[in-house]
Amino acid sequence: MEAVLTLSLLGAAGLLIWAVPRWRLRRALARPLARHELAILERNVEQYRAMDPVSRARLERLVRRFLHEKTFVGCAGLEITDEMRLTIAGQACLLLMGARGDAVYPALNAVLVYPGAFLAPRRQVDAAGVVTEERQDLLGESWGDGRVILSWDHVRRPGLVDAPSHNVVLHEFAHQLDSESGATNGAPYLGSPERYRSWSEVLSRDFAALREDAWFGREGVLDHYGAQDPAEFFAVATEAFFEQPHRLASRHAALYEEFLKYYRVDPRAWQAAHEEPSYSAGVYGQWQ
Ligand SMILES: [Zn+2]
């Protein structure tokens, strides 16, 4: 009898441990964003400004879940503000607008924010096998162990200064999606083998074209940074898909189709063609 009681108590405790986070999540999702929080989304997520009410509600729900689940850590003396939390969560959740279900980057635990570009140790191996250790200035970095690191100074830039085609948040969170498939290799989880076949065919072709453009110094809608490897190509193309959808669709129609099928949203609905920047992208820093 005692054993049965102990077991049932243990069972109840287990249920409680499982139920409390669910209850907290439900409560967090039920609480609407405050007016000042919505104002930050309006100000710093330009796609949100152009969304219909249903899409806005979807983004707000994803943002609430993001803020509930992820820890923000200020680095190098930076104090995390609502402006930072809402701006980063709002932009990161754009990538999930068409996703099935409400999961928000399940492998991600923490977003580390530096005031500006940060130094990270890098190990380089040249063709002769010589290893050099150096420190590199980075604007953002995505890790498969549950961390994204961002320079707040560069998160604020999209739409505000001279490089709207870059978006370090979209870039790093594209890497997060990419790594969910088990390897960060430019192919996120796609489902069927046919989808992988078509993805690989289209992206390989455009990746090769971008490498050629980078070699000859020809500027286009895709940043030459994406010519490094397929993972960077996917991240750079994701930036263009959400920031310059009309230009990407007209110059890379097949790539745009693949991204429509993957992201299950059409960002052209959130931006008029004439609002897109007409100049081409230029590298103004480096991220991983
Ligand atoms: Zn990258």
Alpha-carbon span 74 to 87, nearest angstrom: 15
- Show the tokens assigned to 115: 């005031």
pLDDT at residue 7 greater than cutoff 70: no
CA distance linking residue 240 with residue 107, whole number of Å = 24
List, in sequence order, every residue forming a beta bridge with 132; answer none if it has no partner.
Answer: 124
What distance in Å separates the CA atoms of residue 64 and residue 26, rounded to the nearest whole number?
10
Q: Quick check: 287 pLDDT over 60?
A: no
pLDDT digits (tens, 9 = 90+) for 224-269: 999 999 999 999 999 999 999 999 999 999 999 999 999 999 999 9
Token pair for residue 282? 């230029």
Does the structure show a pLDDT above 60 at 159?
no
Predicted confidence at residue 6, as pLDDT, reads: 56
141 C-alpha to center of ligand 1: Å? 7
* CA 238 to ligand 1 centroid distance, Å: 11
Q: Which residue has the higher pLDDT, 175 or 127?
A: 175
Beta strands in the chain (DSSP E): 71-74, 110-114, 118-125, 131-138, 140-143, 147-151
Residue 129 CA, distance from chain mean position: 33
Q: If you average pLDDT over residues 195-219, what whole number do you get?
A: 95
Question: 2 C-alpha vs ligand 1 centroid, how far in Å?
Answer: 58
Select 33-275's CATH number: 3.40.390.10, 3.40.50.1110, 3.30.200.20, 2.102.10.10.
3.40.390.10
Q: How confident is the model at residue 9 (pLDDT cuts 50, 70, 90)?
A: low
How far apart are the CA of 288 and the centre of ligand 1, in A? 3
**What's the average model confidence in pLDDT over 141-161?**
79
Cβ–Cβ under 8 Å, residues 171 and 141: no
3-state secondary structure of 271: coil
* CA 235 to ligand 1 centroid distance, Å: 6
**pLDDT tens string 88-140:** 999 999 999 999 888 999 999 999 999 988 887 767 777 777 777 777 778 88
Please give the distance, rounded to the nearest whole angstrom, from the Cα atom of residue 232 to the centre of ligand 1: 5
Q: Which two tokens stand for residue 93?
A: 């959740």
Distance 226 CA to ligand 1 centre (A): 8
CB 249, CB 257: distance < 8 Å = no
Cα 163 versus chain centre, distance: 18
Q: How far is the CA of 174 from the centre of ligand 1 (A)?
A: 8
Distance of CA 219 to the CA centre of its chain: 24
Inform me whether the pLDDT recorded for 162 exceeds 50: no
- The answer, yes or no, to whether residue 188 has pLDDT greater than 60, is yes
Q: CA 132 → CA 121, 124, 128, 135, 139, distances in Å?
A: 10, 5, 12, 10, 21
* pLDDT value, residue 28: 76
Spatial distance between the Cα atoms of 153 and 189, rounded to a whole number of angstroms: 31
Residues 6 or more apart from 79 whose CB is under 8 A from it? none
Residue 80 alpha carbon to ligand 1 centre in Å? 24
Whole-number Å distance between alpha carbons of 177 and 187: 9
Per-residue pLDDT of 59-79, as tens digits, reads 999 999 999 999 999 999 999
Radius of gyration of the chain (CA): 21
- Distance from the CA of 171 to the center of ligand 1, in angstroms? 6
Residue 274 is encoded by which pair of tokens? 């004439």
**CA 262 to centroid of ligand 1, rounded, Å:** 19
CA distances from 145 to 142, 156, 180 (A): 9, 25, 11
Q: How confident is the model at residue 280 (pLDDT cuts 50, 70, 90)?
A: very low
Q: What mean pLDDT is reported for the chain? A: 86
Ligand 1 centre from 140 Cα, in Å?
8
Q: Is pLDDT at 34 greater than 60 in this prediction?
A: yes
Q: Residue 283's pLDDT band (boundaries 50, 70, 90)?
A: very low
Asked if pLDDT for residue 10 goes beyond 70, the answer is: no
Q: Do residues 186 and 202 make contact, with C-beta atoms less than 8 angstroms apart? A: no
State whether residue 117 is helix, strand or coil: coil
**What pLDDT is stored for residue 8 in this prediction?**
61
- Which residue type sits at 1? M
